[in-house]
Amino acid sequence: MNFKRASLMTTLRCMMLIGFLAGFSAATAQAQPYKEAIGYNALLGELGGSLETGAGIEVALVEASFGAAGRYMPNTADAEFSGKTIVAGSGPSNGNSSHALSVGRHFFGNTTSMAPGITNVTGFEAVDWINGRLAPGGGGTPLTETFRVSNHSYVARTGDISVADAVNFAMRMDYYINQSGTTVAVGADNGSTSALPRLFTQGYNTIAVGRSNGAHSFGLTNLYGNGRVKPDLVAPLGSTSDATGVVSSAAALLHAKADNMGSDAADARRTEVIKSILMSGATKEPSMSWDRTNTRPLDQQYGAGQLNIRNSYHTMAAGQFDGHLVAPTSQVGLMGWDYEASLAGNNTAMYYEFAVGNWGVEDLSVMLNWNIQVTDTDPSVGVFAPAANLTDFSLTLLDSTDAVVDFSNSSVDNVEHLSLSFLSSGTYRFRVQNHSNFSNSFALSWRMTAVPEPGSGGVLFLFTVGLLARRAARRAR
């Protein structure tokens, strides 16, 4: 489908901001209780000055106009942005946007965010960004850009945009992510009874973000691939706008860590890897009635769970482990990840073997993620004719006899997820299998905690009681 620039402007004029926390002050910037909840304070306490800050990561802040037409930029003179270069990519902003200010503070603020080292920011007005980047020249091929992370805290609701336009823009976004290698975080709508937004929340390659208290739109996609769970991830903020900014900040921190991964850096920076590691690191909080099934990999309200940057950071830091097309000749660690550029179809499988010690492991989380492949079937730069191709992967946990312990096999999603509270000692394998008739890349990440060996019978008793209590609590959720 081709769309003229004028029609895009008309179609998207109703794009809405999705809320932010008012009454921000320097005191709240210093406190930031969300950082404790998502493991950032613990991570900073462990690593101190060696923890990456997002330095060198180029980012984009895309905002719908706030109040007066054209007001989309944050107040660049705000103390949270001292030392940063924030460029107005959509031309002069008609005043400052308090929404952009709040989201920007959580994304790259000096004390509010987890990525204070970000200094290179470009702000865009959302309609201008879509028209100029996703549909340049009134419908041409999306641009390829250098942003590592791009934040989109706005929505288009049902009635604001047609299904045809929403699908076209979502496909363009997925194409843009593949071509640019940009991690794109998008917000769900506020309110647990609100419908899933159209546009990018229902995309495949974006990271859709909700709130840890469940007060956001959620459920199954109803356009551009029906039946997929959204959001992907939640964060403990008072609005989906700020929660999205926090996830973008976490992504920027991981991108900075990826740059320090030596020979693994190129793979660690990939959008599939960043998304997989963010989602495998997520925790299933006691307040969540979290569940999944063998054919529905994520919880319908909370996705993979609550963002936990400490888990995700250590998963990336554990390094990349290669899978094996035949019986594994080496074992992977209890934390780690892998990016495979191609796995052939027709039920070809790749294996990752690991060993669990005498006292077992708990809190096992495994995330398989792959991007939908969108190709442009028209060679003309001025025309974009997208065709989407989704691979069908499955993820299985096998024991030493190759018996199935658990599996995730959705026919519609581009993620598969395993989450177990406990695994006893033994040798196990993750199996990634491609059931399509064509090859595709994928990212796999995993983390689990070894149960500490007790030093005495008393410690053993306390551990056993604690473990049973944790397992009972998880069954109750």
Least confident of 16-30, 138-152, 247-261, 402-416: 16-30
pLDDT of residue 240: 97
Domain(s) labelled CATH 3.40.50.200 in the chain stretch across 5-315
CA dist 62 and 241 (Å) reads 11
Q: Torsions phi, psi of 20, nearest 5?
A: -160, 165
Alpha helices in 270-339 (DSSP H): 271-280, 309-317
pLDDT of residue 1: 27
Q: What is the pLDDT of residues 239-281, one digit of tens each?
A: 999 999 999 999 999 999 999 999 999 999 999 999 999 999 9
Residues 6 or more apart whose CB falls under 8 angstroms from that of 405 comprise 397, 398, 399, 420, 423, 428
Most confident region among 7-11, 42-46, 157-161, 473-477 by mean pLDDT:
42-46
The yes-or-no verdict on residue 477 having pLDDT over 60 is: no
User: pLDDT digits over 190-216, tens only?
Assistant: 999 999 998 899 999 999 999 999 999
pLDDT for the residue numbered 458:
40
Predicted confidence (pLDDT) at residue 463 exceeds the cutoff of 60: no
Cα distance between residue 435 and residue 459, in whole Å: 47
At 404, is the pLDDT very low, low, confident or very high (cuts 50, 70, 90)? very high
Q: pLDDT tens, 331-367?
A: 999 999 999 999 999 999 999 999 999 999 999 999 9
Residue of 318, 315, 310, 370 lying closest to 339 (CA atoms): 370
Q: 128 in helix, strand or coil?
A: helix
Label the pairing between strands 386-389 and 373-376: antiparallel
Which tens digits make up the pLDDT trace of 138-152?
Answer: 899 999 999 999 999
Average pLDDT of the chain? Answer: 90
pLDDT tens-digit series, residues 279-299: 999 999 999 999 999 999 999
CATH class of 5-315: alpha beta
- Residue 17 pLDDT: 67
Confidence of residue 426 (pLDDT cuts 50, 70, 90): very high
Residue 31: predicted pLDDT: 55
CB-CB neighbours of 389 under 10 Å: 11
Query: What CATH fold (topology level) applies to the domain 318-476?
Result: Jelly Rolls (2.60.120)
Residues of the chain with CATH 2.60.120.380: 318-476
User: What's the confidence (pLDDT) of residue 66?
Assistant: 81
8 Å CB contact between 121 and 86? yes
pLDDT tier at 28, thresholds 50, 70, 90: very low
